[in-house]
Each structure stands twice: as structure tokens, then as C-alpha cells.
A and B are shown apart, each in its own frame.
Chain A
Amino acid sequence: MDTTAVQTPQSLTPKDFATDQEVRWCPGCGDYSILKQVQTVMPTLGIPRENIVIISGIGCSSRFPYYMNTYGMHSIHGRATAIASGLKACRPELSVWIVTGDGDGLSIGAGHMVHILRRNFDVNILLFNNQIYGLTKGQYSPTSEENKITKSTPYGSIDHPFNPAALALGADATFVARSMDRDPKHLQDMLKRAHAHKGASFLEIYQNCNIFNDGAFEIFTEKATKADETIFLEHGKPLLFGAQRNKGIRLDGLKPVVVSLDEGYSADDLWIHDEHDLYKAQMLVRLFDDPSVEGHFPRPFGVFYEAQRPSYEELMQQQIEAATGKYGVGDLDKLLAGSETWTIY
């Protein structure tokens, strides 16, 4: 059964997706905005509420299911992806959303993350990246920058951080995108795109932890710097950015370079984004340098890559149908008897 074919009988509103549970994130947490955008988008997807399942692991973001009036499971640390795999294998018609964080999804659960992506279960993975451990009160995470001073790294972190989008692409994810808590419209668009994609959708969402890592993404989210420090990817459009929309990225052979349209280049000279080009996507996810270093690239947001590949549950169903076609519906008596029997009279 395909969920997209099932239409909601009566129209739902964001309110229908709220629960009676008090939301307990810290005041000012970026999670509030993400919750709001998810609740806003859900009624527009045309899925009956009972067919939506949200599965999370452990961490601040993983409280998410309690605040969504759908089916949901707040599971154990790092395992939401594995639990969702079993659910989706058995119930392909459900719309399964995984809510995880940089600790849950990329540290303790990194092992399962790469496998759900390569298997391409048709699920939507929302990875809230705040580059810190919030629930355990402020240790560095696998996405924290080098030299970060935290409770567990008083001399600075010596860990090299993950690049989540590059990791997902490296695991052959069929949909890789990035958005942020402070751009509601873009986040809503990305949520819709993630849902529309058939296969595992990996959506990294920059999320501000105002208690333990406040301002980690300020440079990308604040008005004064956003236009120059970010680049919003649109399929078929040139990589253009800057407050004056006068800067762009062009490919000089295999090397991306930032150019100014005021210096003789036109939009036609720029790199034209193609969501279906794996090679270019691999370069795009690598535009990930430290914003404090002179000459750095702007950070891309949007859909890096999308490809079509059969989902795991689809292939599993096909094998079951093929086996049933070949051998007929299982006959338990035949199975129990096996191939060789003898009778005692």
C-alpha cells in the first residue's frame, strides 16, 4: 500500500497534531521551531494521522514523539533507526519519521544510521544537529568543532568532527538535505521534500541549543551575516549568494571557487545545481569549512542530492511475492513433514 494514495478524509490542522503533554524543552530551544514546522507541514501531506509514526532515540530532540499526536515511540539511545527498520519492513504503508540528534544519530547510533541509509528504507530522518550534548548537560558531540571547550574537554576537544551530510552521502543515502531551525519556510519546504522522496531521506537541521552551545550557527542564521555565509541550493539554478546576490560559486575544472558577478562573471558562468549529480553532490557536501577562516565558502542549505533506488521493504515484499508465486502459499503440513518421513503402524 502506498501512503501517498491514501487521502485524509477530513482536513487536519496543525492543532490536531499537538498533544496534551506539556512541552519540556528549555525556553528558547530551537526544538520549538522544528516542532512547529513539523506540526504545520503534517496536515498538508495528506496522510491519515494514524498512519504516521515518529520514532526517536534518546536526547533532547528525542522527546519529540510525546508532542506529536500520532503513533510514536521514544526508544533507547541510538536505536531509533533500527527499530524503524523493523517497523517499516513489516508495515510498508506507514509514514515513518525518525527524530534523532547529533549524539543519538551520529555517536551511539552511527552504526545503525549508515545501514538504514544504504538499505534505503522509505523513512524520513530528521537529525537535529546542535553540536553539543544537551540532555547530559554540555559535553562535546561528534559534530562539535575542534578545540571546543566543554565540561568534558576543559583543554579543548581533540576530536575531529563528522560532516553529517558527507557521511550520509558516503553511505549511499538517496536523499541528503540541510536546513535550520531559524528559517521556518525553508525548513517546511525541506520537510515536504523529505516526505515526498521515496527512500531514506536524511535531513540535517541546524538547531540552536541556547543553554550549552548558544549561537553555534549564528553566522548562518542572523540577518547580518546569513546572506553572505549561506547558499541556498535550488535544482537547476546557479549557486548564487550574498546580500546583493552578486556572489557565486563556479567550477574551475574540479575546483569550486567563489567569484563576484561584479568582476566580469555572469550567472551563466556559475555552477548550476543538479540534485541528481552524485559527483557534484560529493563536492557540495564538502563545502563545510570553518566560517572563521578567511576565504571560506558559504555553507550550503537545501537538497544536496536525490536519487531513485528501490526501498528495502519494497524488495522484501517482492521476494515474498515471488516465493509465493513459485511455491504457492505456504502449506504448514507439508513444511512440518519435510522431505523424508517414515510411518510406524
Chain B
Amino acid sequence: MSTQTTVQQLRDVVIKFAGDSGDGMQLTGMQFTNNTALLGIDLSTFPDFPAEIRAPQGTLPGVSGFQLHFSSDPVYTPGDSCDVLVAMNAAALKANLKSLKKGGIIIANTDGFDAKNLRLANYPEGVNPLTDGSLDGYIVYEIDITKLTREALKDVDLGMKEKDRAKNMFVLGFLYWLYDRKMESTIHFLQEKFAKKPLILEGNLKALHAGYNYGDTTEAFTTRYRVERAKMPRGTYRSITGNQALALGLIAASQKSGLPLFLGSYPITPASDILHELSKHKNFGVRTFQAEDEIAGISSAIGASYGGCMGVTTTSGPGMALKTEAMGLAVMLEIPLLIIDIQRGGPSTGLPTKTEQSDLLQAYYGRNGECPMPVIAAATPSDCFSAVYEAFRIAVQYMTPVIFLSDGYIANGAEPWRFPKAADLPPIEVKFKTQLDEGEEKFMPYQRDERYVRPWAVPGTPGLEHRIGGLEKQHITGNVSYDPDNHQLMVKLRQAKVDAVADDIPLQTLDSGPESGDLLVLGWGSTYGAIKGAVKSLQQQGYAVAHAHLRYLRPFPKNLGEILRNYKQVLIPEINNGQLIKIIRDQFLIDAKGYHKIMGIPITKSELEEHIKSLLG
């Protein structure tokens, strides 16, 4: 009985919810995440799902997972390995057992370990991991979740299939009991979600309570766990994913700049959620256009920017490749534009739902001709907000397309976010040319200011009618020009304009560590948490290791070279085969070392820590 259970304090827990891709594990994980966040516990999540919507049931490729790391201490990553594994079937156990800590807890749905499921999970005939002793080193809670859910819902007028779909709520209820939680957040969520389906609502609520009560009344469970809130800076927080933060950052920048937002986009994993999110917010004047293809996505955004709106296009690697020619047009036109690439495993279709820092070289060099544009990358889910806000600012103030890089890991991962007040966001000044200046006889569309930026004159402005296009422009007049000297000048001017952005961005700082020493770990993008965790751990062990993380990838902050030269070694870990490292070697002529993981999954803190130790001898 509940009176006999003890509550044990824990500082740090990693749970992995794993089941069939139709088992509702993503929803279960997100619910537990929100519940955790609302208690002020720090957290980080990592959803990991197959590319197929409903991969063959019960098989290894069909396993969908959601990993949640929550702690009273600062959390940097979703965790290298888990303390608790929820396995809805045999395949879920098999696929995830290797990432469960020795002595960890397994919550197994016994119904998912019948002969059929064991066969689908490729266990040899007659072998059941629940009974053959192979899990002896773990604490295994065997629960017939399917049966218990059906039992709890026996009076609800739903078909068997619908009843079984509430299994995930039983699991969630049980975990709420196990971690000593209140369930209001999920009850409220279900009431909203199923407001128009009272029977489904009833079934889900019954399953949720049944799971909780099962923990409470079954004597097998004697210990409950509690994780206290983390010491986070004062303020008001919410939980946010990378793609959500990105969408909000775009709307915020649109509001602060006064430029209406236009998104031209073609659905692609893992970027589509930005289109979904932005399409909800029409009362902010947001225009979303689901184009017929990737090329129309960016082209329509170019049209919008030409008309004086902020044109944005969102995509992932293969779509970015298709947009290449239009990106070149935007460079030639010198108009603001945002190209947002939520990277995934490549090349070609590659690994659509797996993460990879796949496109830095594409962002840098992947166009015909000399075609520079600024590149900015987000480091964490909440960082997407301010990073994309900054990308928007640069695009508008420098009349240039800007590439923004995120990846699947950041896009779908969630973390607490101390969101800003609208009034505290920096202003984004926009200057349209509205008339000829005094003494100006004719509008010169390519007359640049001291930062090499040309004026933005939009259709509808009397007296400034002009023509632009993809053919090389004559300096100042913007007329078509094939003059050799002019082409050289214009190539240099376009480069100089992008380079000048370096005068307008913060100097690079260290995330942690000494200003000089044995080794600097230089990172960009989603490796942030793993690098931060590994470097901090090494610092505590007395190593002279520092961490710098780049948001501005093109141009680099002006002091980057100086920082790099303050360390005996520079290590650049990337989830690719070495991309930033090529650019750093090229620009700074240093013998940087790489650490490359190309498995569609993030680098873990512990593997990186080991690797750094090996470099330091």
C-alpha cells in the first residue's frame, strides 16, 4: 500500500520511452516532459523515431523512442545512457537495452513479449529475455499493460483497438506515481485534445488513473522517486522545442521590425513543424505558402522580399540542394532572405529522421559562382529563438540572404526556456528608400553605403522604378554589364559586404575554461551540450581545457583566430565527416583535430570526454 512506500530523492534521471511507432511514445514523452518542466526541474529531450509513419508493427525498425533527461543540476544533453527504460514490446527492449545503465529499471509490457513479438524482434525461437535470466542485472517491472488497460476500460463503450490505444496513458500514470507527480497537466491536456470525443477522453483518463493506482496499490513497488527543482536563474520559463523556438523567433523579429513575415515552404522532415507552427499565427499577419516544390518555396520567398516583406524558406538538406540556384539569384539581387536548413543525415534522401551536421559545406560553398552569404547556427532548442532573430536582423540590415542551420536533434528536442519580454527584444531597424535624395536625378539601385549595402526600394514607390535580375549588375546603376573589370569589382563588393557583417556581431567568447591552455574544443550547432558537459567534467578533473561554440559561421567573429592560437591543440567535434574543420584549417592555417561521428545520433558526453583525454595523453 502507498503508506508503505518510501520516497527516495534523486538528483538526475534519464528515462527512455520506447515502443512501436504507433504506441504513442512521443506523446507520452512530451507529456512527462511538460509535467517535469512545470516543476522547475531542468531537462533535455531527444525524440528518436523511424522515417516510416507506421513501420511494420513489432519490428526493430518500427521502434520509436523518446529520451528525457531531468535533473536538479544543470542539464546539457538528453543523457548518454538511461536509468529507466519503458519497453512496450520486445523490439523496444532489444533496440534500447545497450543504452540502459547496469542496474537500471526496465518497465516491460509483458503482452509485448508474446511469441509473435519475440519473433518479430528477431529473438531466437523459444528465447524470452524476460524469463531467460539475461536481464538479471536490471530491476525489471513486468506489467501486463495491455490487459490492465483493457480491464480498466471494461465499462467504456470503445472498441478493443481504441482501448488498446490508451496503453500509453497507463504507462504515463504509472510513471507519474513512480516519480511522485501530480497529473493535472496531462488531465488538462487530454480534456482539451479530446473535448469533442468524450468516450476517448474517458478511456484515456481511466487508463491514466489506472496506471497511477496500479503503482499505489501493488505491493511490488516499494520505492518512489523525487527529483527536486533545479537551481535555475530567476524568471518565468516554458518548455520549448527547437522548431517552435524558431517559429516564435521569426514572428518576434517580424513584429519588432515591422516587416510582414512570408514563409514559402515545401514539407520536408524535420523542418515541416515550422510551417505547421507559423500557419497557426495568421493574426500576427503571418503568410504561409505551401509551395508546389522546394524551388517554388524559395522563389516565392524571394518575391515576398522583393515586395518589402521578410521572405523565409524552410527546408532540410535535399531541399536546400534544390534551392541552390535561387539562392544565387538572391545574392545577385541583394535582397533580404532567410534560408532555414534543419539538417538531417545525407546525402540524397539519407536518414530523414536522424540528425547530422550535414550541410555546413553546402551552406558555405554549394552554389555556382562566387556566392557568399552569412551563415548562422543554433546550439540548442531555445537558442533557435535568438539565433534566428539575429539572422533576420542581418538579412534585413545587410540586404543579403542568410542561411540558418539547425538540425533534427535541436528541432525536435525540448528544454526549459526563460522566454524574453517583447519589450526587451532588441529593435530591428529597417530602412526603405522612399524617394530620390536631394541632387539625385535617377535612382541607382546598386549605390552602396559605407557597409557596401544597397538601398531597398520596393514596388509601389513612385519615382524609384527600376529593374533587377540575375545577370551581372553594373556597379551603382544596376544595369546589365558584361564588362570584365566590373565583374571583378562586383564579386569583390559582394564578398566585402558579407565580410563587413563581422564588424556588427559580438566577439567570440569562451563557453568555459581558461583563456589559454592545452586544448580548445571548438564546436557549432547541436554538439553544444555534449561538449559543454565533457569539458566541464574535464575541468573539474584539473585539465586545462576550454570550450568555444560558434553561432556565427560566416563570417567568423573577428577574434576567432586569436582565440584558436591560445591553445596547444584545437579539437573540432562534429556530427559529420569533418566540415567546420576544413573551413578552420583553410582560414586560419592551424592543425586542428577532428572528431567525427556519422551515425545519425548525437555525440555523447562520455565518448567525447574519453577522446579528449586520449589527446591530452
Which residues from chain A sit less than 8 Å from chain B, CB to CB? 19, 21, 48-53, 55, 58, 65-66, 68-76, 79, 82-91, 93-94, 111-112, 115, 316, 319-320, 322-324, 326-330, 332-333, 335-338, 340-345
Q: Report chain B residues within 8 Å CB of A75.
A: 299, 302, 329, 469-470
Q: Does B218 contact A (CB under 8 A)?
A: no
User: Are A49 and B465 CB-contacts (below 8 A) given A111-B292, A344-B232?
Assistant: yes
Report the nearest B residue to A91, measured CB to CB. Answer: B307
- Sample of 13 further A-B pairs with CB below 8 A, known A75-B299, A93-B460, A338-B419: A50-B461, A74-B468, A86-B262, A86-B300, A87-B303, A87-B304, A89-B287, A111-B292, A322-B282, A333-B421, A340-B37, A342-B39, A343-B235
Contact of A51 among B291, B311, B421, B460 (CB under 8 A): B460
Report the nearest A residue to B479, measured CB to CB. Answer: A21
Q: In whole Å, how far is A223's beta carbon from the nearest beta carbon of chain B?
A: 37
Question: Could you tell me the distance between the alpha carbons of A72 and B462 in the complex, rounded to whole angstroms?
Answer: 14
Contact of A76 among B233, B255, B325 (CB under 8 A): B325
Contact of B326 among A48, A65, A76, A329 (CB under 8 A): A76
Q: Does B615 contact A (CB under 8 A)?
A: no
Our count of residue pairs bridging A and B at CB distance below 8 angstroms stands at 204
Contact across chains for A330 and B255 when beta carbons are under 8 A apart: yes
Q: In whole Å, how far is A65's beta carbon from the nearest beta carbon of chain B?
A: 5
Q: Report chain B residues within 8 Å CB of A316.
A: 287
Q: In whole Å, how far is B326's beta carbon from the nearest beta carbon of chain A?
A: 6
Question: Could you tell me the distance between the alpha carbons of A68 and B239 in the complex, rounded to whole angstroms?
Answer: 53
Question: Could you tell me the distance between the alpha carbons of A345 and B311 in the complex, rounded to whole angstroms?
Answer: 40
User: Are A85 and B422 CB-contacts (below 8 A) given A115-B292, A324-B282, A342-B236?
Assistant: no
Contact of A330 among B281, B326, B463 (CB under 8 A): B281
Contact of B236 among A72, A88, A93, A341 (CB under 8 A): A341
Q: Report chain B residues within 8 Å CB of A76.
A: 299, 325-326, 328-329, 470
Q: Report chain B residues within 8 Å CB of A335.
A: 248, 251, 281, 284
Q: Report chain A residues within 8 Å CB of B300.
A: 82-83, 85-86, 89
Contact of B309 among A83, A90, A115, A320 (CB under 8 A): A90
Count of residues in B whose CB is under 8 Å from the partner chain: 70
Question: Could you tell me the distance between the alpha carbons of A183 and B552 in the complex, rounded to whole angstroms?
Answer: 58
> Majority SS of interface residues in chain B?
mixed
Contact of B307 among A66, A87, A329, A336 (CB under 8 A): A87
Contact across chains for A79 and B459 when beta carbons are under 8 A apart: no
Question: Could you tell me the distance between the alpha carbons of A292 and B334 in the complex, rounded to whole angstroms?
Answer: 50
User: Are A343 and B419 CB-contacts (below 8 A) given A75-B469, A79-B326, A320-B283?
Assistant: no
User: Are A328 and B283 CB-contacts (below 8 A) given A79-B299, A340-B238, A342-B237?
Assistant: yes
User: Are A332 and B303 CB-contacts (below 8 A) given A50-B460, A75-B469, A89-B287?
Assistant: no
Q: In whole Å, how far is B222's beta carbon from the nearest beta carbon of chain A?
A: 30
Q: Report chain B residues within 8 Å CB of A332.
A: 251-252, 255, 284, 422
Report the nearest A residue to B263, measured CB to CB. Answer: A86
24 contacts between A and B (CB under 8 A): A21-B480, A50-B461, A58-B470, A72-B466, A73-B467, A74-B470, A75-B470, A76-B328, A76-B329, A85-B303, A86-B301, A86-B303, A86-B306, A86-B307, A87-B304, A87-B459, A89-B287, A90-B287, A112-B295, A330-B285, A332-B251, A336-B252, A340-B38, A345-B234
Q: Report chain B residues within 8 Å CB of A112.
A: 292, 295-296, 299
Contact across chains for A94 and B459 when beta carbons are under 8 A apart: yes
Q: Does B228 contact A (CB under 8 A)?
A: no
Q: Report chain B residues within 8 Å CB of A74.
A: 467-471
Sorted nearest first, the 4 A-B pairs with minimum C-beta distance are A74-B469, A86-B303, A86-B300, A330-B284
Question: Could you tell me the distance between the alpha carbons of A264 and B291 in the complex, rounded to whole angstroms?
Answer: 55
Contact across chains for B185 and A340 when beta carbons are under 8 A apart: yes
Contact of A65 among B236, B248, B469 (CB under 8 A): B469
Question: Could you tell me the distance between the alpha carbons of A50 and B233 in the complex, rounded to whole angstroms?
Answer: 53
User: Are A50 and B480 CB-contacts (below 8 A) given A73-B306, A82-B295, A111-B292?
Assistant: no
Contact across chains for A71 and B465 when beta carbons are under 8 A apart: yes
Question: Could you tell me the distance between the alpha carbons of A50 and B433 in the complex, rounded to whole angstroms?
Answer: 14
Contact across chains for A50 and B306 when beta carbons are under 8 A apart: no
Question: Could you tell me the distance between the alpha carbons of A83 and B471 in the complex, rounded to whole angstroms?
Answer: 17
Q: In whole Å, how far is B294's beta carbon from the nearest beta carbon of chain A?
A: 10
Within 8 A of A (CB), among B223-262: 229, 232-240, 248, 251-252, 255, 260, 262
Q: Report chain A residues within 8 Å CB of B291.
A: 82, 85, 115
Contact across chains for A83 and B462 when beta carbons are under 8 A apart: no
Question: Could you tell me the distance between the alpha carbons of A165 and B295 in the complex, rounded to whole angstroms?
Answer: 25
Q: Report chain A residues within 8 Å CB of B240.
A: 338
Q: Report chain B residues within 8 Å CB of A337.
A: 236, 238, 419
Contact across chains for A330 and B283 when beta carbons are under 8 A apart: yes
Question: Could you tell me the distance between the alpha carbons of A49 and B295 in the complex, rounded to whole angstroms?
Answer: 30
Q: Does B535 contact A (CB under 8 A)?
A: no
Question: Could you tell me the distance between the alpha carbons of A345 and B229 in the complex, rounded to whole angstroms?
Answer: 12
Question: Could you tell me the distance between the alpha carbons of A316 and B300 in the complex, rounded to whole angstroms?
Answer: 15
Q: Report chain A residues within 8 Å CB of B34.
A: 340
Q: Does B560 contact A (CB under 8 A)?
A: no
Q: Does B464 contact A (CB under 8 A)?
A: yes
Question: Could you tell me the distance between the alpha carbons of A295 and B595 in the complex, rounded to whole angstroms?
Answer: 75
Contact across chains for B299 and A83 when beta carbons are under 8 A apart: yes
Question: Could you tell me the distance between the alpha carbons of A251 and B229 in the complex, rounded to whole angstroms?
Answer: 83
Q: In whole Å, how far is B421's beta carbon from the nearest beta carbon of chain A?
A: 6
Q: Report chain B residues within 8 Å CB of A88.
A: 303
Q: In whole Å, how far is B142's beta carbon from the nearest beta carbon of chain A?
A: 34
Contact across chains for A65 and B467 when beta carbons are under 8 A apart: yes
Report the nearest A residue to B291, measured CB to CB. Answer: A82
Question: Could you tell me the distance between the alpha carbons of A55 and B300 in the complex, rounded to whole angstroms?
Answer: 12
Q: Report chain B residues within 8 Å CB of A49.
A: 462, 465
Report the nearest B residue to A329, measured CB to CB. Answer: B283
Q: Does B103 contact A (CB under 8 A)?
A: no
Contact across chains for A320 and B285 when beta carbons are under 8 A apart: yes
Q: Does B506 contact A (CB under 8 A)?
A: no
Report the nearest B residue to A330, measured CB to CB. Answer: B284
Question: Could you tell me the distance between the alpha carbons of A136 and B616 in the complex, rounded to whole angstroms?
Answer: 60
Q: Report chain A residues within 8 Å CB of B469.
A: 65-66, 72-75
Report the nearest A residue to B422, measured CB to CB. Answer: A332
Q: Report chain A residues within 8 Å CB of B282.
A: 319-320, 322-324
Within 8 A of A (CB), among B175-194: 185
Q: In whole Å, how far is A109's beta carbon from the nearest beta carbon of chain B?
A: 10
Q: Does B221 contact A (CB under 8 A)?
A: no
Interface 1/0s, chain B 290-331, versus A by CB < 8 A? 011101100111111011110100000000000001101100
Q: Does B264 contact A (CB under 8 A)?
A: yes
User: Are A86 and B292 CB-contacts (below 8 A) given A74-B470, A336-B422?
Assistant: no
